[in-house]
Amino acid sequence: MFNLILFGPPGSGKGTQSEKLISKYGLIHLATGDLLRSEIAAQTPLGMEAKSFMDKGELVPDEVVIGMISSALDANPDAGGFLFDGFPRTEAQAEALDKLLKLKKTGIHLMLALEVSESELISRLLNRGKTSGRSDDVNEDIIRARIAEYHKKTSAVADHYRKFDKVKQIKGEGSIEEIFNSLCAEIGRKKSL
Ligand code: ADP
């Protein structure tokens, strides 16, 4: 099994790079943002609860996303590995993920952290908002709130995995192919160990 976390602030390119990585390495993509948006589209009680936080640019409560990830892991017993995108976003989520993977006799092998300047993030997200249909990408105040949540609660998650020497920083600016090649180079290094 090979389990990867693709990490970085909103707009850092996690979704774009995830699509390419899962097809190259045969991983199952677990993106909490996408899972939450499916719940909203299906108008489930979980989706309705999540929406009230997402519309403000705040994180959804830990127990909600941890429960979703736990079910997704159980639903894929034969996976060759998972790519976590947008999760874990808090220390509590990181600890819960480590426990869930340990129960399955596996763990996180690598965290790849995309680094992008704040002005570039805001311009990418506003641009995405023109076509994505995502209400949280249209309003600059909500975008800034999401980036603030990232600094306040999420960036420390990298320190959690840094303790285990599992984090590699990747420059997230440049062409999609250049960034993809940098990500693949780190994965290749890790897999050959
Ligand atoms: P982005 O990273 O570009 O903001 P996502 O699709 O990953 O987009 O997340 C959109 C929103 O969904 C977040 O702003 C947050 O409200 C919620 N969300 C996604 N993943 C999590 C998570 N792991 N914990 C809490 N909230 C989450």
Pick out the chain residues at pLDDT < 70.
Answer: none
Q: Which homologous superfamily does the CATH classification assign to the domain defined by 4-191?
A: P-loop containing nucleotide triphosphate hydrolases (3.40.50.300)
Active site residue 128: yes
H or E element in which residue 82 lies: strand 82-85
Count other Cβ atoms within 10 Å, centred on residue 77: 7
Active site residue 146: yes
Count other Cβ atoms within 10 Å, centred on residue 184: 16
Active site residue 189: no
The three-class DSSP label of residue 134 is coil
DSSP 13-62: SHHHHHHHHHHHHTPEEEEHHHHHHHHHHTT-HHHHHHHHHHTTTPPPPH
Pocket test for ligand 1, best of 17, 35, 36 (most atoms within 8 A of CB): 36
Catalytic residue among 20, 128, 153, 168: 128
Phi and psi (nearest 5°) for 134? -90, 115
Ligand 1 pocket list (CB less than 6 A):
10-11, 32-33, 36, 53-54, 57-60, 65, 86-87, 89, 93, 146
Phi and psi (nearest 5°) for 122? -65, -40
Active site residue 124: no
Catalytic residue among 37, 89, 124, 166: 89
- Looking at residue 146, its pLDDT comes to 97
Which tokens sit at 130?
Answer: 């023109």
Nearby residues of 74 by Cβ (< 8 Å), 6 or more positions away = none
Task: Report domain extents, the chain.
Answer: 4-191
- Looking at residue 192, its pLDDT comes to 84
Catalytic residue among 20, 56, 134, 153: 134
Which tokens sit at 10?
Answer: 């909103």
Active site residue 168: no
